[in-house]
Homo-oligomer: A and B are copies of this chain.
């Protein structure tokens, strides 16, 4: 068996112990005589699995009792519609902060359901950064304020939680949920596709304050009405059972590793290792403002893009895979989510030094 260091932006690397356990339990989960994939979602075995997953997630993120956790489908791209459908609640529109490609996709989709006020944007100008809070032109009557806490493509991340007063803060945390502790009570709603820090694609996590449930637009498919999903314990439609099981194994792994405080330190150290190296050489560079560099997705460039193909080929030969940058920004991107061990980043930096020595 061979295992690579997988820098994919998502679906992304999973903890190896999780995969080992999943393989071992594939044909017979805990003596049930069934794979988790084969279990009725309403049977006692799967009900226990789903309940444990929710309990662990609640514990890891310290989710307050007045928040519901929903297991849904469709990923963040479906949520771009499902959020305004559920969250406009009679308001004319919502405020969105534009910090990159994922924000802009959320904005474009939300415009189909209500007025969208882009209160701040980093689309213009040179450096790639998060617009400072005092530049945001918020509407006190907005249904909510939407942010993307980590831009997977651009590589910018909020390292602070915006104060938006009494208007609910809605966050797409697809690519940094569970990477560090957060104060859930500062948010009205958090959503995240699973395929970065949680588990397999096809599962979406929604964490929503109870008083925000209800009043979805009449055209909302019932399966995507947060209130209905909450009332049915995420079993209004058949949930993605195997993805929930894997997510539960990941949550267990996170807990055993010391929870999100330990994970934040792990991620801070990995990111610092890579950014410090990028700053130490002119052969490579990071285009991101220092105070909002992502701990999860590190885009970087070679000083000469003619070397890109050779760089990727050499990396691949060393088992350092999926480093090609997103087509929108080009260059390279190292995604170093929770499951990426420090050894993976060390191996990447060692290779980058080696490549620089050979081509510098």
Chain A interface residues toward B at CB < 8 A? 1-4, 6, 8-14, 16, 19-20, 22-24, 26-28, 31-35, 37-41, 43, 73-78, 80-82, 85, 109, 112-113, 193, 195, 199-203, 217-219, 221-224, 236-243, 246, 319, 321-322
Q: Which 8 A-B pairs have the closest CB atoms?
A: A202-B240, A81-B221, A4-B33, A77-B237, A23-B26, A219-B219, A73-B73, A78-B223
User: Of B3, B11, B238, which one neighbours A39 at CB under 8 angstroms?
Assistant: B11
Q: How far is the CB of A328 from chain B (nearest CB, A)?
A: 13
Q: Are B237 and A10 in contact (CB under 8 A)?
A: no
Provided the pairs A6-B34, A19-B27, A221-B109 are in contact, do residues A242 and B43 lie with their beta carbons within 8 angstroms? no
Contacts of A193 in B (CB 8 A): 238
Provided the pairs A2-B31, A109-B222, A246-B37 are in contact, do residues A11 and B238 lie with their beta carbons within 8 angstroms? yes
Q: Are B243 and A202 in contact (CB under 8 A)?
A: yes
Q: Are B74 and A11 in contact (CB under 8 A)?
A: no
CA distance A344 to B224 in the complex (A): 37
Provided the pairs A8-B39, A38-B11 are in contact, do residues A33 and B2 lie with their beta carbons within 8 angstroms? yes
Q: Are A202 and B33 in contact (CB under 8 A)?
A: no
User: Of B11, B34, B80, B224, which one neighbours A4 at CB under 8 angstroms?
Assistant: B34
Q: How far is the CB of A336 from chain B (nearest CB, A)?
A: 14
CA distance A33 to B240 in the complex (A): 25
Name 6 extra pairs, CB < 8 A, besides A23-B23, A74-B224.
A73-B78, A76-B237, A77-B237, A78-B237, A80-B222, A242-B242
Q: Are B33 and A11 in contact (CB under 8 A)?
A: no
Q: How far is the CB of A346 from chain B (nearest CB, A)?
A: 18
Q: Are A28 and B40 in contact (CB under 8 A)?
A: no
Q: How far is the CB of A20 from chain B (nearest CB, A)?
A: 7
Q: How far is the CB of A348 from chain B (nearest CB, A)?
A: 15
Q: Are B13 and A20 in contact (CB under 8 A)?
A: no
User: Of B24, B26, B81, B240, which one neighbours A222 at CB under 8 angstroms?
Assistant: B81
User: Of B16, B20, B241, which one neighbours A11 at CB under 8 angstroms?
Assistant: B241
CA distance A112 to B32 in the complex (A): 41
Residue of B nearest to A77 (CB): B237
CA distance A80 to B200 in the complex (A): 25
Residue of B nearest to A12 (CB): B38
